[in-house]
């Protein structure tokens, strides 16, 4: 066997050592790179999972907000048909939005942002509904109060008118009652052929009824006819043969005699003769005097 040269042996060993050192450095470098890649991959996966969790949480928050708004829409109501129809349409939109959000992946950022905008729009619309309802309720409340006030004023006016009407009627009644003629100094006499007063029945040829119409500023001016009805002791109505009649109290009555005078509001004295009676009997004769408005008075005369 040939012995190796010591110098060559030393060079060979140094070369082998150098070669082994390079391989070791390469391996160390590869290990470092592998560790760095593993660390980077871990960081990426951790970041991705965290981002996905955040997106899922954001989607859940958005879903909860939409569902809360949906509940608000369900609880919102009004007394107005137009607004109720609009509310129904908005409720349908928000129900569809809830369904779309549930079906969309949390990682679809574009759609999630779109849904957030739609949520904001629906919130603005709801605030508009609330403002409209509040305004209409305020207006309705004010109109209700105004209507109540108007009804109260109308009732007060009606009561005042009723009172005024009653007062006018009372005053009219008083004026009407006050305008009715009355009389005083009512007396009846019996006369004989010599125009002397007598109480002997067999001598009487006529009666004279005297009375005075009272002064009355309210009474109607102009001609007034006074009627007398004289009944004999048997209750029979005496007649002067002229067949005079008049209306009193809605009834047509026959008069024994009558006379017309010109009345101007001042006191008027008048006498009415009862003539053309064939005979007079003993007893009490009764006389009543009238106008068409009122009974003026009555009296009696005894014939012997």
Q: Report the percentage of the chain scoring pLDDT > 70.
A: 86
Of the given ranges (40-54, 83-97, 152-166, 173-187), which has the lowest mean pLDDT?
40-54
Based on C-alpha coordinates, what's the Rg of the chain?
Answer: 64
Query: Which tens digit of pLDDT belongs to each residue from 93-127?
Result: 888 888 888 888 877 888 888 888 888 888 888 88
* In-domain check, residue 257: yes
Helices (H) and strands (E) in the chain, counts: 3, 9
Residues 22 and 86 in one domain: yes
Residues 124 and 214 in one domain: no
* In-domain check, residue 103: yes
Query: Which tens digit of pLDDT belongs to each residue from 266-297?
Result: 999 999 999 999 899 999 999 999 999 999 99
Q: Which of 153, 179, 205 is the last residue of a domain?
A: 179
* In-domain check, residue 2: no
Residues 11 and 119 in one domain: yes
CA distance 4 to 150: 135
Residues 95 and 190 in one domain: no
What is the chain's length? 304
CA distance 120 to 99: 17
- What's the token pair of residue 27? 């391996």
Structural domain range at position 69 = 7-179
pLDDT score recorded for residue 125:
86
Of the given ranges (81-90, 194-203, 247-256), which has the lowest mean pLDDT?
81-90
Q: What is the average pLDDT across 34-38?
A: 76
Residues 28 and 170 in one domain: yes
CA distance 142 to 148: 10
Of the given ranges (9-13, 78-82, 216-220, 251-255), which has the lowest mean pLDDT?
9-13
Q: Which of 138, 164, 179 is the last residue of a domain?
A: 179
Q: What is the average pLDDT across 208-237?
A: 95
To which residue do tokens 């007396």 refer? 187
Residues 15 and 30 in one domain: yes
Residues 127 and 254 in one domain: no
Residues 192 and 224 in one domain: yes
Residues 43 and 113 in one domain: yes
Residues 18 and 144 in one domain: yes
pLDDT score recorded for residue 50:
67
Question: Is residue 90 predicted with pLDDT exceeding 70?
Answer: yes
The helix, strand and coil proportions of the chain, stated in percent and rounded to the nearest 5, come to 55, 20, 25
* In-domain check, residue 171: yes
267 neighbors 212 (Cβ within 8 angstroms) = yes
Axis-axis angle for helices 6-75, 81-103 (nearest 10): 160
* In-domain check, residue 263: yes
pLDDT score recorded for residue 102:
83
* In-domain check, residue 209: yes
Question: How many structural domains compose the chain?
Answer: 2
Q: What is the DSSP letter of 4?
A: P
Q: Report the percentage of the chain scoring pLDDT > 90.
A: 38
- What's the token pair of residue 83? 């607004």
Residues 30 and 167 in one domain: yes
Longest dimension (CA), the chain: 220
pLDDT score recorded for residue 3:
60
What integer best gives the mean pLDDT of the chain? 84
Question: Is residue 175 predicted with pLDDT exceeding 70?
Answer: no
- What's the token pair of residue 115? 């849904």
Read off the CATH number of the domain in which 242 is found. Answer: 2.60.40
Of the given ranges (4-8, 115-119, 215-219), which has the lowest mean pLDDT?
4-8
Residues 139 and 277 in one domain: no
Q: What is the average pLDDT across 171-194?
A: 80
* In-domain check, residue 142: yes
Task: Give ∠ CA 156-162-168 in degrees, rounded to 5.
Answer: 135
Q: Which of 161, 179, 197 is the last residue of a domain?
A: 179
Distances (CA, A) of 129 to 13, 65, 123, 136, 139: 94, 19, 10, 10, 15
* In-domain check, residue 1: no
CA distance 188 to 302: 10
Of residues 304 and 168, more confidently modeled: 304
**How would residue 232 be classed by pLDDT, with cut points 50, 70 and 90?**
very high
Question: Is residue 193 predicted with pLDDT exceeding 90?
Answer: yes
Q: What is the average pLDDT across 46-71?
A: 77
179 neighbors 221 (Cβ within 8 angstroms) = no
Query: Which tens digit of pLDDT belongs to each residue from 234-268?
Result: 999 999 888 899 999 999 999 999 999 999 999 99
0.75 exceeded by the pTM?
no
pLDDT score recorded for residue 14:
67
């Amino acid at each position: 066997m040939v012995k190796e040269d010591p110098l060559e042996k030393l060079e060979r060993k140094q070369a082998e050592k150098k070669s082994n050192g390079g391989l070791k450095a390469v391996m160390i470098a590869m290990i470092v790179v592998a560790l760095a890649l593993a660390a980077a991959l871990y960081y990426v996966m951790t970041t991705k999972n965290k981002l996905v969790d955040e997106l899922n949480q954001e989607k859940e928050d958005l879903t909860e907000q939409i569902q809360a708004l949906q509940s608000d829409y369900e609880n919102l109501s009004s007394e107005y048909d137009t607004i109720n129809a609009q509310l129904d349409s908005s409720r349908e939109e928000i129900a569809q939005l809830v369904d779309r959000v549930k079906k969309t992946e949390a990682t679809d950022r574009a759609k999630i942002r779109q849904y957030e905008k739609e949520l904001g729009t629906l919130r603005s619309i709801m605030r508009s509904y609330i403002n409209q309802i509040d305004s209409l309720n305020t207006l309705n409340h004010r109109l209700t109060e105004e209507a109540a006030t108007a009804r109260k004023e109308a009732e007060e006016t009606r009561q005042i008118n009723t009172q005024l009407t009653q007062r006018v009627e009372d005053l009219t009644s008083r004026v009407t009652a006050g305008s009715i003629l009355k009389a005083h100094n009512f007396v009846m006499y019996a006369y004989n052929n010599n125009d002397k007063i007598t109480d002997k029945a067999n001598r009487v040829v006529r009666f004279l009824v005297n009375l005075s119409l009272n002064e009355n500023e309210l009474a109607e001016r102009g001609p007034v006819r006074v009627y007398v009805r004289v009944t004999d002791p048997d209750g029979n109505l005496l007649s002067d043969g002229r067949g005079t009649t008049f209306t009193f109290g809605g009834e047509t009555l026959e008069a024994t005699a009558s006379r017309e005078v010109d009345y101007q509001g001042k006191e008027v004295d008048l006498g009415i003769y009862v003539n053309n009676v064939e005979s007079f009997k003993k007893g009490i004769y009764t006389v009543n005097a009238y106008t068409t408005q009122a009974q003026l008075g009555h009296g009696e005369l005894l014939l012997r």
